[in-house]
Structure 1
Amino acid sequence: METSVPDIQHRLMAASLPALPQVLVQLISHCESEEGGMAALAELLSRDAALAMKVLRVAASPVYRRGPVPANLEQALTAIGIDMVRTLLLTESVYQTFNGFAATRGIDLRPFWAHAIATAISARAIADKLGYAQVEEAYLAGLLHDIGRLALVTAAPDEYAANFHAEDDDALCATEERTLEITHPEAGALLIEGLALDSFLADSIRYHHEPLERLQTSHPLVRLTALADAFATHAGSADGIPPAVARMAGFSQEEAREHAQTLAEQIAHLAASLGIEVAKETRPALLARRTGLAATAILGGDRLNEKVRDLILVSKTAEELRKFHDANACTRAIVKSSVVLFGFSDAIVLSGSAGSDILTPAALEDGRMRLSGLSLPLDEGNIAGMAALHGIAAFHIPPRVASVVEDQLLRFFKTNALVALRLSPSAEEPVVLLGAMSAGQAQLLRNRQHLLGDFGRQSGAILGQTVQHNDKAGFPDAALASEFQLAARRVAHEVNNPLSIIKNYLALLDRKADNKQAFGDDLSVVTEEVDRVAQIVNDFAQEHQARPDDSADVNGALAHAARMFSESGSLHPEVRIAHHASREPVRAAIDSRVFNQILINLVKNANEAMANGGRIDLRNAGLVPRDGRHWIAVSVIDTGPGIPDTLMPRLFSPIASAKDGPNRGLGLSIVHDLVTKAGGQISCRSSNAGTVFDILLRHAPFHAQPEPGERG
């Protein structure tokens, strides 16, 4: 009997998007909503016995425990902390989701993964070219961009199997829409959103078939993923990578040609590093059509399912580690993350200084200080020394004979197996993670060497950056001087804005005095701008910082900015400005002075871009839904010539502008910092018809009376 579309949709949503138990979905949602408390979370968790046991086991580890073993789930969750609970739930959801791809085993996944890896390698190269800092996130986005095809064939194998190896283009999406009422980009985005991963990762999957012209002003991760897919698709074609695609990716035509020529070789090298056998002749015509690669670089699907799963886990764990700016705090976070990821019953970090031949425990917490007296020789007589010297995970599993110090650690940890993993890039100043577990767990972990290696490299790199940051903070040097110089330039830039407004208002007051007109509110504007100059200088000196406002009246701030620029004569003669209020009054969770500073910078930039005249609109769209929550949407729109494509990738960096003057290029960098520090988001869309800066701000409860310093 023919299967109906609604039935397929039901299976898709219930079984594959995401393929998670309802309790796990609710737990993830509860953590992300930040509503309720540990009691409600514990009540949800109690409905899944296996997951509840995992939480209790992690909380009982000495790494988390401070005092007696937690007696119940609520105490266990409190001991772990909400951030690590999210990591634990993410780990579980990723495992269950990728285990759900078992139904695809009857299909040859090797061409699928060949294209995925080609896109991932291309995404990393493009991220490097465009200056996108999170290159590993780009790699992950490329690897996952077609993951919706796995979701569809898992949920509806009979209906979708015939299309699984079809050419990945708009025709395939149209077929998917017609037969299943959902495309693989949409399915993949839903899958990633179900795992509670970063929204831009989901968006990079959702939009990877969009025309590249539409993505020019999108988030860099979204844009470079679509470019990487185009690179991988065209790499082996007779015409090669299209010039427009290469140009948008920051490649010369020669560089694009070299990338295409080496892509198959890089995939084969990756296959060898993963220990995966490379088939010599498998679907050559399909690969030539799907990936443009020689048929010598096709990988086994099951192993790659595991690799993708591990990459997600390490990538999201690394994201949590980047929140720490203190080396000791980062070290302890690495230890806690390892307990969740690898199932360690306990763990410590060992380190050695340059020229030293011993490893000693680092960043120990209270109650564990007796371990500080231990030292392990930096040699091959113990697993920590082996890991430090050779950079690979080393195991102690019976019947291997332990050294004396290893035996001490085994008794301290009350276990019979250990694993050591180097975190530092070399053995010159080694940092080693040492984890304890049962022999059976260690045997299983031995088969996951790549997860250990990826975790070691990423967490070690983040720890190294944290140490360097701490060193800079403690010892003034050229880098610190450069930071101070940039801060001084920012102050000069920001002081210049109110000074320009004051100068224009003084000229206006002079004209009014000559005509015997009333000054009205003009003097109060001058007073406010003088106060703003003083506040900017005081903030830089970190003296007498004003107490920030809790919120800003958005409609009032837009009206004030429009009136100030139009009445002061700060605009070019042929430039007009208008503001558009939301129907309902809204307050944004941002200091009112900071919001005014953002608006002044953006309006000033728009005015300077329209020397021949034009229009500036300040628009408040009110509350809008984005990423599962409501934001206040504010737009600053101009009808100028647009921003050159070459500047868009680094638009918010301190050197993006081509304007003359000593403070050129700082305004948008300052705006970006102010918006993000307030917990908001800013993006830009630009064409030859004009430029739009879209700002999303967290909303705050509205109070009828404006706060001091705000103008309606």
Structure 2
Amino acid sequence: MLRVPAAILDSIESLHLPPIPQILLRFLHLADDDSTTISDLAALVGQDPSLSARILTVANSPAVWRGVESKSLTQCLVNLGTRLSRTLAACLIVQNFFSPTVDKDLYDFSGFWGHSLRLAETARAIATEINYSDVEEAYLAGLLHDIGQLLLLGGVGNRYGALLAASHDESALRDLENQALDTDHSVIGAWLVDQWRLSSFMADAILFHHKPADEIVTADTLSQIIWSAHVLCEQLPLQTAAEPVHTAELAAVKAIAGIEAPGLYALWKHCSDRVVQIGEALGIRETVDQKTFPTTTMPLESARQEPNNGNPSSSPMEDIVRDMALMQSLQQDLLSLGSEEELLVEVREAARILFGIGHIALLLVQPDTAVLAGANIDGQPIMLQQLEIPLDPPQSLAATTALGKMPHSTFAQRFPAPVSLADVQITRILASEGLLYVPLRSPKQTIGVLAFGISAEKYGRILKQLTWITSFGQLAAISIETWRELRSREQRLESAVSKRYELQARRVIHEARNPLSIIKNYLSIVKKKLPDTDVLHELDILKEEIDRVAVILRQMSSPVEAPSASGSLDINSLIESMFALYGDSLFTNRGIATETYLDPSLTAIDCDRDSVKQILINLWNNASDVMGTGDCFFISTHADINQNGRIYIEIRLSDTGPGLPHDVMQHLFTPLDPNRRPGHSGVGLSIVAGLVDRLDGRITCQSTAGRGTCFSILLPRQKG
């Protein structure tokens, strides 16, 4: 177990990590660009140790954990989603500007940034050379190897700044850290990574990166990579390629990486030059004699003895500007969320970042009752939902805060209401020493309260933030209220549109039934007049199609489409009969060749005939529309396809057409804009996917520009 003194632990748990402003702003810009990919965002985040640590912390928290650990930045951003990631970045920007935990004018982070990024690049290069299984894990461990320095500076403040100012290198800094704090930055960095509960040696790699050469050889490969990268970044800047100086540490690196001294220098130099290029692109410059940790820009005695500590209230105008900035960033993201659960999670995570409080709960007024209870959201103890705190009369500090406009704490000297047993239970559920309640109240109504689990020491530090925390509660309440009103309005509109649609559908069905009946009766008359020829079979197929149209029309009046009754279906015979009816009009008459291979071993399956016909006709129509003279359409069936132990039959449809457009592939099987292609509704593939799903099947698509498209449909040979 890592030994972190309680006082230090209390100060660093808030994760006050000074970010790189240039990267934060760039991240916000990219997140607003629809063409930006998750890989683009991950690459940018990977250039800032602070932002990377924030993203990893949130992505591996109970609130957003998806059952799979997030060990890479790409996976973290996938789990968070672009909206939540953008909200986190926006909150960090607001915090960095209005409530910096470290005096921006007092410290220079360019040396720390350059050293962290240089070591990350070097670690990745070494990992590549030795064929390490997870190169990006090595990069991330290198990027975060000194993150403990930021945690200590953000948590302890100028007390740690004095240690930085008195140190000429990292070795001296570690000695001073252990003397003054009874811990050091490598232990603190490892503590942070331990909170993510990763199946990785990343925490050990951070913990061991200052170990002696004779000890590191017994550690795991990742720890050896980070240690080696640290040695190269520490010793090679003092050397040249022409005159390398041999040390015991460099000899150990040579043995670990299997690279001779000139090769090690070339590897490090390439990585170092890349960091210089990244710095120039971001507007970050390192000086030649830059230290590898945050440095003071002026004597601490002439500066304020403590950082701002989050006091945003230097003037009423600054309060207004801060609230406007926060409101804009919050509402832009919150109002676009699809569920109230997502919205509440974002509110909580925004509060966690802005105020550095780890234990947060949301208690909401329950619909049609005067009762507070815990919100049903991820990462919140389920026991809070079992509490029912009456608002009328208010007999607890939680209820009194919810009905008022001011925050209240169990640490205050005076209480507007007694601390009830319910308040004690919430304190225990949050595993905290006490509570700070912040009202979630809009001008119109009471939404609930934010409950922050804090210590007495933490309460003393956040007293200066109470005005800002109160404003945040009001802004969050307004956002929640607005979101609910918008969703209620949408539901009313959807209900009205649905009713109009159902009425129109009934009219269409009624009007279409008569001509369909006439056509069907006329076909029966024609059939009696014709001799016994192959045409009679084709007339039977036409009657089947008319019956299928009638079924489709009937389904229009039902809000939920129920699958038709299943029966034994010979897929090969169905395809042959459909080709007899549609083959000429869709393909032959357009100069499109067709080839079929129908597996003779394919037996009948229990499946809805009409659904399969609708799937095929949709896909055939799509293929016919995009092909021209000289193209070819292939149809094949295959028996006994085993996927994950279940047996399917396969229908494969491929063509030599132009391939699906990129925008269609990006949103395959979802409805498209009906105006995108005149004469097409844009819902064909979404209908196909829905039908396949109803049949308990699977559908996949491969498409290459200029080479055609292939659809594979798997239908279970047996139900269940």
Question: Fold-level match, TM-score > 0.5?
Answer: no
Relative to the length of structure 2, the TM-score reads 0.42
